[in-house]
């Protein structure tokens, strides 16, 4: 085990997979010579050359489109969208082509691409560098959506995504790149796409979170424990396919559910979890499944007080959890 | 139009309040923003203003009772324009087991009284409904269960406790009393008495828990129940340190604007010892010992109704003067009831100061879920053998209560001696308090 930053775990996953399999290529804006704006792909251009680490024009639709073309011709592309805020020009490629290819070709073609992209606020990134986009993409059948929290998961899920025969959207919260550290096994390993994980067991309330929100929820759990409220934290980590079994088992234990995400609330991903619990776990419930989400404003604001107001902190989770437990 | 007044949210971390005193009686007119009731919480006492003008019709929660935020506490007949605020269909009207308010006003038109006089069927969560079916509870039995949820809602715990009590022999077990939510204020009338060990004799008086008292009771019991406590005590000769402090404390006060207390020296030395013995700054978990990286140092402060432990964050990174200033500030905020949740969260180790009250040897209870607590007893002038003679020295007992699952006596005593050596070896650099 080695203690690594979130960012290094992703870098190492990319490096080791590229060293293992020559069909893996990287493409995206500034991923090559610059090593990525966050430095995730640092050194890969030098290690694997310009044919495998490709700087693209500033054209997201092109990046994903080219990746799809590569994938049906035998390569395993890992495309990087520099900020999730800018992924939407590629929406049509992802929705209409990548996610449908297997269905459309009656299983003759898969589309083994990974689209990595940093998302999320709390870094003073303002309107074009702070947004969460998972709800749009988790809605698409045929696309897998993964949001790791621990460095070990980031690496293990990335390796699993690269080896997956179908397209995977891999979301990395940019605030975690340098602030989250953790033990990462030295040997080759994968974390399967799909299963959620209970990060902390508890009896009074299940909190469902992913990415940075898992971190905040764990912080809240510590505070709540001081008050005698034992919270179970479920790190959802794969949004699609969703591990409803683990979610329902947790609610069966605690009888209460709080779903936390940074993305705004209306028709957000939390609604899917809440609906699943309401439909399939109704008889377990001692309180309404409740969501704590970013406010419904058009974007994460720039001004510091407004950004703080937008972001979900451990403090806000403590507050919401108390209300659900008191119901 | 009668409108329910609810227990307000009086701060981020406050989730229940106690009715201190009703400032109006039923029938009294109240102006908008006029103080209506005194509410006591574990952090603040406030007068709650009336949200609108009207006449207080009914008091739903008596003085001294504790209810969760959002519980209806009174009904006010709103003055003028009230009809516009018709209750949404399906929302239960203020349930009034008491008779509708008597109006001794002769010919004036009576306020519209809700036609529904039968108490509405309780609204149950799906889980509670299932439990009721599984355990075949009759409607009467269900009605007898006091609800501890918001607005008196019957929760899972309430039902399970009820079933447990039914199953138990007529003499209720003490274990039921220890269940955290068993201590909620009973709803008026009809509910079962909480199990007690002995019947009260004439003149005995039951003092209901204040929120602070209840929190302390639960935390202490949990700590003693779960943590196998072990203890060690050493003697520390503070003569040099105490003399130095006496000589310079006025100078420091003038220069730094703060009384550099002995506690600050103690925290400084203990924080260093925690760095040297990280297993003392830890928490037992089922998977293993969780060594806490940061040293967040809690210091117990007595407050009128009990005890609160504000936390000095990153205490190991602060000097004696900085610690003294922070301790003074936190203690003042504690006594004024102005501590924030952040001030009392995240502690990894605790110092308690029973010496202030004259204790010369103490066996403190660990501040759950930490691994240890340090107790500083009174400094006593004692005859002490020095070399072949006897000298009068300022001596203090320093005790450690520790979680024996996390570390053993040898570590505990080395940790205490680490502090002792620092305090006894105190070699002041000129007039500075830093060491």
Q: How far apart are CA B261 and CA A98, in angstroms?
A: 68
| Residue A183: strand pairing partners | A3
Q: How far apart are CA A202 and CA A215, in angstroms?
A: 16
* pLDDT interval class at B195 (50, 70, 90): very low
* pLDDT interval class at B180 (50, 70, 90): very low
> What string of DSSP letters covers B43-92?
S-EEEEEPSS-EEEEEE-S-TT-EEETT-EEEEEEE-SSGGGGPPPTTSP
The pTM of the full predicted model, rounded to 2 decimals, is 0.53
Sort out which chain B residues have CB atoms less than 8 A from A326's CB and list them.
Answer: 15, 68-70, 149-150
Q: Is this complex's ipTM strictly greater than 0.95? A: no
**A80 CB burial (10 A radius; 0-12, 13-18, 19+):** buried
pLDDT at residue A41 is higher than 50:
yes
* pLDDT interval class at B214 (50, 70, 90): confident
* pLDDT interval class at B153 (50, 70, 90): confident
Give the contacts of B72 (CB within 8 A, at least 6 positions apart): B4, B5, B6, B7, B60, B94, B151
> Which part of chain B is CATH 4.10.320.10?
106-172
pLDDT, mean of residues B105-109:
47
pLDDT at residue B96 is higher than 50:
no
Class of the CATH-defined domain B2-87: mainly beta
pLDDT of residue B191: 40
Name the DSSP class of B370.
B
Sort out which chain A residues have CB atoms less than 8 A from B341's CB and list them.
Answer: 223, 315, 318
Q: Report CA torsion sign: B47, B53, B58, B60.
A: negative
pLDDT of residue B199: 65
Catalytic residue among A88, A124, A129, A215, which? Answer: A129
- Greater pLDDT, A157 or B78: A157
Q: How far apart are CA B205 and CA B207, in angstroms?
A: 6
> Which part of chain B is CATH 3.30.559.10?
228-424
Give the contacts of A304 (CB within 8 A, at least 6 positions apart): A124
Q: How far apart are CA A321 and CA B148, in angstroms?
A: 17
* pLDDT interval class at B18 (50, 70, 90): confident
Among B9, B10, B15, B127, the residue to mutate for chain A (most A Cβ within 10 A) = B127
Q: Indicate the Cα dihedral angle B282, B269, A226, A248, nearest 10°.
A: -30
pLDDT at residue A214 is higher than 60:
yes
pLDDT at residue B92 is higher than 50:
no
Interface contact A255-B156, CB threshold 8 A: yes
Q: Does A198 touch chain B (CB under 8 A)?
A: no
Q: How far apart are CA B149 and CA B153, in angstroms?
A: 4
In the three-class reduction of DSSP (H, G, I as helix; E, B as strand; rest coil), residue B273 is classed as: helix
Q: In this structure, what token pair is assigned to residue A260?
A: 């936390």
pLDDT at residue A271 is higher than 70:
yes
Give the contacts of A124 (CB within 8 A, at least 6 positions apart): A302, A304, A307
pLDDT at residue B106 is higher than 50:
no
pLDDT of residue B336: 86
The percent of residues above 70 in pLDDT, for chain B, comes to 80
Report CA A295 to chain centroid distance, whole Å.
20
Which region among A34-43, B299-308, B379-388 has the lowest average model confidence (pLDDT)?
A: B299-308
- Asked if A297 and A264 count as a contact pair (C-beta separation under 8 A), the reply is yes
Min distance B156 CA to chain A CA atoms (Å): 6
- Asked if B423 and B416 count as a contact pair (C-beta separation under 8 A), the reply is no
pLDDT at residue B68 is higher than 70:
yes
Name the DSSP class of B27.
T
- Within A51-111, residue ranges assigned H as helices are 60-72, 91-92, 101-104
* pLDDT interval class at B178 (50, 70, 90): very low
pLDDT, mean of residues A256-279:
97
Give the contacts of A169 (CB within 8 A, at least 6 positions apart): A94, A115, A117, A137, A143, A144, A145, A146
The CATH-assigned architecture of domain B106-172 is Irregular (4.10)
**A57 CB burial (10 A radius; 0-12, 13-18, 19+):** exposed
| Residue A224: strand pairing partners | none
- Greater pLDDT, A162 or B130: A162
Q: How far apart are CA B56 and CA B339, in angstroms?
A: 34
* CATH, domain B228-424, list 3.30.70.1560, 3.30.559.10, 2.60.120.260, 3.40.50.2300: 3.30.559.10
Give the contacts of A166 (CB within 8 A, at least 6 positions apart): A102, A110, A111, A112, A142, A143, A144
Interface contact A326-B12, CB threshold 8 A: no
pLDDT of residue A267: 97
Mean residue pLDDT across chain B: 82
**B245 CB burial (10 A radius; 0-12, 13-18, 19+):** buried
* pLDDT interval class at B392 (50, 70, 90): very high
Q: In this structure, what token pair is assigned to residue B367?
A: 């501040």
Q: Does A287 touch chain B (CB under 8 A)?
A: yes
Sort out which chain A residues have CB atoms less than 8 A from B69's CB and list them.
Answer: 326
- Asked if B158 and A326 count as a contact pair (C-beta separation under 8 A), the reply is no
Which region among A59-73, A137-151, B29-43, B87-101 has the lowest average model confidence (pLDDT)?
A: B87-101
Min distance B86 CA to chain A CA atoms (Å): 25
- Tally the residues of chain A: 327
pLDDT of residue B120: 61
| Tens-digit pLDDT profile for residues A285-308 | 999 999 999 999 999 999 999 999
Cα A69 to Cα A60, A63, B368: the distances in Å are 14, 10, 59
Mean residue pLDDT across chain A: 97
* Bridge-based pairing state of the strands A231-235 and A205-209: parallel
Sort out which chain B residues have CB atoms less than 8 A from A318's CB and list them.
Answer: 13, 341
pLDDT, mean of residues A55-67:
98
pLDDT of residue B80: 59
Q: Clarify whether A129 is annotated catalytic.
A: yes
- Greater pLDDT, B105 or B427: B427
Sort out which chain A residues have CB atoms less than 8 A from B125's CB and list them.
Answer: 285-287, 327
pLDDT of residue A173: 98
- Tally the residues of chain B: 435
Q: Indicate the Cα dihedral angle B68, B72, B76, B79, nearest 10°.
A: 90
Cα A201 to Cα A215, A222, A250, B324: the distances in Å are 15, 12, 9, 39
Cα A24 to Cα A52, A102, B399: the distances in Å are 7, 20, 62
> Which part of chain B is CATH 2.40.50.100?
2-87
Q: Clarify whether B408 is annotated catalytic.
A: yes
Label residues A289-317 b or e (16+ Cβ within 10 Å = b): bbbbbbeeeeebbeeeeebeebbbebbbb
Q: In this structure, what token pair is assigned to residue A227?
A: 């008050």
Q: Report CA torsion sign: A86, A88, A92, A96.
A: positive
pLDDT of residue A15: 98
| Among candidate residues B46, B42, B50, the one with its CA nearest the CA of residue B66 | B42
Q: Does B130 touch chain A (CB under 8 A)?
A: yes
- Asked if A137 and A144 count as a contact pair (C-beta separation under 8 A), the reply is no
* pLDDT interval class at B42 (50, 70, 90): low
Among B7, B11, B13, B216, the residue to mutate for chain A (most A Cβ within 10 A) = B13
pLDDT, mean of residues B270-298:
95
| Closest in A222, A228, A319 to B12, CB measured | A319
pLDDT at residue A20 is higher than 80:
yes
Q: Which domains does chain A have, with CATH numbers?
A: 2-184 (3.40.50.970), 197-326 (3.40.50.920)
């Amino acid at each position: 085990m080695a203690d690594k930053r979130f960012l290094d775990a992703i870098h190492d996953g990319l490096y080791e997979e590229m060293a293992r399999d020559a069909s893996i290529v990287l493409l995206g804006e500034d991923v090559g010579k610059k090593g990525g704006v966050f430095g995730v792909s640092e050194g890969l251009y030098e290690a694997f050359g310009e044919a495998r680490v490709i700087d693209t024009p500033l054209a997201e639709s092109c990046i994903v489109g080219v990746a799809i073309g590569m994938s049906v011709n035998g390569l395993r592309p890992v495309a990087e969208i520099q900020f999730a805020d800018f992924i939407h020009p590629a929406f049509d490629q992802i929705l209409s082509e990548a996610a449908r290819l297997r269905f459309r070709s009656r299983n003759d073609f898969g589309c083994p691409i990974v689209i990595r992209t940093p998302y999320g606020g709390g870094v003073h990134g303002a309107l074009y560098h702070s947004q969460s986009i998972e709800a749009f993409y988790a809605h698409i059948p045929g696309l897998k959506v993964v949001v790791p929290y621990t460095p070990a998961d980031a690496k293990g899920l990335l390796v699993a995504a690269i080896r997956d025969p179908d397209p995977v959207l891999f979301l990395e919260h940019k605030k975690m790149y340098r602030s989250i550290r953790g033990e990462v096994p030295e040997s080759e390993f994968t974390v399967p796409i799909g299963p959620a994980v209970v990060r902390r067991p508890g009896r009074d309330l299940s909190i469902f979170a992913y990415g940075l929100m898992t971190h905040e929820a764990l912080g809240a759990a510590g505070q709540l424990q001081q008050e005698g409220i034992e919270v179970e934290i479920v790190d959802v980590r794969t949004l699609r396919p969703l591990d409803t079994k683990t979610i329902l088992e947790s609610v069966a234990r605690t009888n209460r559910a709080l779903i936390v995400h940074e993305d705004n609330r209306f028709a957000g991903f939390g609604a899917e979890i809440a609906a699943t619990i309401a439909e399939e776990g109704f008889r377990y419930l001692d309180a309404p499944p409740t969501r704590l989400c970013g406010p419904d404003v058009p974007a994460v604001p720039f001004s510091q007080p407004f950004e703080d107001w937008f972001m979900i902190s451990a403090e806000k989770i403590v507050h919401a959890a108390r209300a659900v437990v008191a119901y | 139009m009668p409108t329910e007044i609810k227990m307000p949210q009086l701060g981020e971390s406050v989730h229940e309040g106690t009715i201190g005193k009703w400032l109006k009686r039923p029938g009294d007119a109240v102006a908008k923003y006029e103080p209506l009731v005194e509410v006591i919480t574990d952090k603040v006492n406030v007068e709650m203003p009336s949200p609108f003008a009207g006449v207080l019709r009914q008091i739903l929660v008596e003085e001294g009772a504790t209810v969760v935020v959002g519980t209806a506490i009174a009904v006010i007949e709103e003055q003028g324009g009230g009809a516009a605020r018709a209750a949404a269909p399906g929302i239960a009207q203020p349930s009034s087991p008491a008779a509708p308010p008597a109006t001794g006003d002769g010919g004036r038109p009576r306020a519209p009284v809700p036609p529904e006089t039968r108490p509405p069927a309780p609204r149950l969560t799906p889980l509670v409904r299932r439990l009721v079916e599984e355990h075949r509870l009759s409607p009467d039995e269900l009605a007898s269960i006091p609800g501890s949820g918001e607005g008196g809602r019957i929760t899972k715990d309430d039902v399970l406790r009820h079933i447990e009590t039914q199953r138990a022999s007529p003499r209720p077990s003490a274990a039921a009393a220890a269940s955290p939510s068993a201590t909620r204020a009973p709803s008026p009338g009809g509910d079962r008495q909480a199990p007690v060990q002995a019947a009260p004799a004439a003149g005995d008086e039951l003092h209901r828990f204040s929120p602070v008292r209840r929190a302390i009771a639960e935390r202490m019991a949990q700590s003693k129940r779960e943590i196998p406590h072990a203890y060690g005590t050493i003697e520390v000769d503070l003569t040099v340190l105490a003399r130095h402090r006496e000589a310079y404390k006025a100078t420091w006060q003038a220069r730094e604007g703060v009384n550099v207390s002995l506690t600050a020296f103690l925290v400084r030395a203990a924080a260093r010892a925690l760095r040297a013995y990280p297993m003392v700054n830890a928490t037992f978990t089922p998977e293993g010992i969780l060594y806490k990286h940061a040293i967040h140092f809690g210091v117990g402060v007595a407050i009128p109704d009990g005890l609160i432990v504000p936390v000095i964050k990153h205490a190991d990174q602060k000097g004696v003067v900085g610690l003294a200033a922070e301790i003074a500030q936190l203690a003042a905020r504690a006594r004024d009831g102005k501590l924030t949740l952040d001030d009392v969260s995240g502690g990894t180790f605790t110092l308690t100061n029973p010496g202030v009250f004259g204790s010369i040897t103490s066996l403190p209870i660990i501040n759950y879920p930490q691994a240890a607590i340090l107790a500083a007893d009174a400094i006593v002038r004692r005859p002490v053998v020095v070399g072949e003679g006897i000298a009068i020295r300022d001596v203090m007992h320093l005790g450690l209560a520790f979680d024996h699952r996390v570390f053993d006596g040898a570590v505990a005593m080395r940790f205490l001696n680490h502090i002792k050596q620092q305090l006894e070896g105190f070699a002041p650099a000129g007039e500075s308090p830093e060491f």
